[in-house]
Chain A
């Protein structure tokens, strides 16, 4: 077996490596692998959480495949992740670049960008509930000032607008996190690389293309993983408070669907099948970039 730098490893070194990795692997197995296997086990069963479960094979997965509600929830997840990737991440990168260039004078902007992260998800969600309120909300009040008439759009109360409203709120909340990731990455790029580049070119475009972006591959990967996994995971809290998947399922994410199937409708087998699908989807999306970037990790010396 070869080590990280390609050197051959002896048996003792190998054993040491495994032993030292054991605690971390144990934690990973306990909190990730074991629950995943248990989920898969329940996904193959019909269980109401009260009486004995019975084996039904792939029936839950077949049911999901033919349930429009499942596909709609998957689409909602994809829309949330997709929109965030094409807007929030590039914008966060741009803002991080500005903050990096204006290190000396950008404190206020930095605080403004990071402010949402200071709030808990509950507080941020309540804030947006007030912003979006159809009768007393800030957004309708602002629109009423700008256009004639009394604007009373039900941002969260209409299937047409609810998803967009939720995407904007969640993007606002997590924007600072992505900015911080890029800013931290930029701070770690040695200045010499830019100095060498400037010997040949002074253009920002060349800086970005030849130094900044290549050196930020891992940060871009982290952002990508956070957006994809977040749309299936930690965004749930936000959406749960804002709309709870409504109205009429227009903002229902797969996670919320699973929670309802399990803890409200008493169909834990189906709920487990949904979580298995979530795991498969997230892994299939993020595993390839992780492996690719790990293999082509650049070492500058």
Chain B
């Protein structure tokens, strides 16, 4: 069951086209389920609207010619008049495996990370590849997945000064988060591995393989496998 009065905290008009629905400020699978439910409901109500979301907020964009204040009232009515509704969305839809090479040769911060966490490479690989990470949403950069489920033993602060360039495919840890840089970009996470897999392809009909609610599992590969997969992909 989705309890709207539990999940939805507020509505906010960002501009004359864009509304925010603010949920309980937490990172949780139940919030994600509620978001997916609310999103599909909005898309049925307002087929012309565009909806995207983060951990605890849903953005709804309406076409210019629509009256945003009226839409806001309609949304409030829909979600605040009914307290709860049966939830028919499951999060265990699909698990996608992503190969990662954990080698200091291609992961610039791996040595530093292991030394400071007092871990062996094998322990790190075990801890990082065991969980089934939940994809919460895509944001920050095209194809950047916000993942939940990092083992507490791997939590590690971000760098004080972000690196100017982190290469596409780099797998990093930034405090309680882990993720993959889909393209070259500056960044403050410690890079512990690299994937040969392309996370975003603008020319594909489906530019990103993942969607919110999917599960991701990292799979350790050797440097040789990494190199052969990289040449295959380029």
Asked if A pairs with B, the answer is no
Residues of B within 8 A of A (CB): none
Residues of A within 8 A of B (CB): none
